[in-house]
Amino acid sequence: MQQFVNLTLGGVIIGAVYAAFALALVLIWRSTRIVNFAQGAMAALTTFIALSLIEGGQSYWVGLAVALVAGLVIGAVVERVVIRPVEGGPELNAVIVTLGLFIAIQALISVLFGVNQRAFVAPFSTIGFRAGDFTLALSPNTLFTLGAVLLVMVGLIALFRFTRVGLAMRASAFGQEVARLLGVRVGRMLTLGWALAAVVGSLAGMLIAAEVTFVAPTFMDSLIVFGFVAAVLGGLDSPIGAVVGGLLLGLALSYVRGYIDDTLVGLAALVILVVVLLVRPGGLFSTTQTRRA
């Protein structure tokens, strides 16, 4: 029973981070029909920028703020400079470009920060709360992780639902040409979409770094896989789907880790991906019937 409770808690927490990461992928997919495979590397870069600030004596919060702003800038620049030329072209071109970007950014991190593992200290205590004589897999730091993800989700939903910019972004996502005819600055909306996605990705990077406590240039590689599976599980088009997909995946993988074997987690994620694509290729929450694969 204790094990079940802790696996569930652990699953929800890691699932929340997957959800944030999946959300970043969905934001970009919705507006540009591109899966950004460089998302993990971009987040690793901003995490390393924050880490060097923290190691240099700045507080965690300065590091976090800088990581988020750096994410915003990197996301916008990447869209404008690298992605814009392949937007609207064949999907394969965009895939190759984001994969190339992934490799390039990872190499850049190694050049700038070295390839060694470095310790990442969590902003809050990672010692679990106690319930009677047993320790829960829930600590002040995991509460912070959950809260941060929740805050970002609510913020994004509010942005999309209730603001004019959100409306223009959604319109651009559903029909660029029509939106343009109505006077929406579609190019700006796409840039903003990538920038926001990169901010969410950066946040996920900072949160996962505090959970795993050691970071290397490749530390986000598994998260891009899990985030992608979560996004597909939720239907790639649906932000709510990304969140639910992330939580479901987090739980499933946590149970696999606890009850079966730690080494099977990656395999389990891919099995889930294959099953979803076979049984319900539109995902659990897909809003559009026709999805371009």
Partner 1 sequence: MGTLAQPPDTTGSSTPYEDRSPTARLEMTGISVAFGGIKALTDVSLTVEPGQVHGLIGPNGAGKTTMFNVACGLVRNTEGRITWRGEELRRLRPAQLSKLGIARTLQGVGLFPGLTVLENVMVGAHKHARAGFFSALFAIPTSDKDDARLRERAMTSLAELDADGYAARYPGSLPYPVQKRVALARALVAEPELLLLDEPASGLSEEEMRELGDLISHLSGRMSVLLVEHHMDLVMRVCDQITVLDSGKQIAAGTPAEVQNDPAVTEAYLGDAVDDTTDVSELAGIDGGTQRG
Residues that bind partner 1 (CB under 8 A): 158-159, 162-165, 167-168, 170-171, 173-175, 177-186, 188, 192, 287-288
Please give the structure tokens belonging to residue 24.
């970043």
Q: For Cα atoms 224, 226, 227, give the angle at the middle one, nearest 5 degrees.
A: 60
What minimum distance in Å lies between the beta carbon of 145 and partner 1? 24
Of 140 and 166, which CB lies nearer to partner 1 in the complex structure?
A: 166
| Three-class DSSP category at 89 | coil
Q: How many CB atoms lie within 10 A of CB 36?
A: 30
Give the whole-angstrom CA distance, residue 189 versus residue 252: 35
Please give the structure tokens belonging to residue 214.
């050691």
Q: In 52-198, at which residue ranges do the beta strands (DSSP E only) sit?
A: 118-119, 130-131, 134-135
What minimum distance in Å lies between the beta carbon of 75 and partner 1? 14
Of 80 and 118, which CB lies nearer to partner 1 in the complex structure?
A: 80
What minimum distance in Å lies between the beta carbon of 183 and partner 1? 3
Of 16 and 243, which CB lies nearer to partner 1 in the complex structure?
A: 243
| Three-class DSSP category at 182 | coil
Please give the structure tokens belonging to residue 101.
């970007």
What minimum distance in Å lies between the beta carbon of 288 and partner 1? 7
Residues 6+ apart with CB under 8 A from 231: 22, 23, 25, 26, 29, 241, 242, 245
Q: What is the largest CA-CA distance in the chain?
A: 65
Of 4 and 174, which CB lies nearer to partner 1 in the complex structure?
A: 174
Q: In 74-199, at which residue ranges do the beta strands (DSSP E only) sit?
A: 118-119, 130-131, 134-135
Of 162 and 292, which CB lies nearer to partner 1 in the complex structure?
A: 162
What minimum distance in Å lies between the beta carbon of 54 and partner 1? 27
Of 118 and 188, which CB lies nearer to partner 1 in the complex structure?
A: 188
What minimum distance in Å lies between the beta carbon of 188 and partner 1? 8
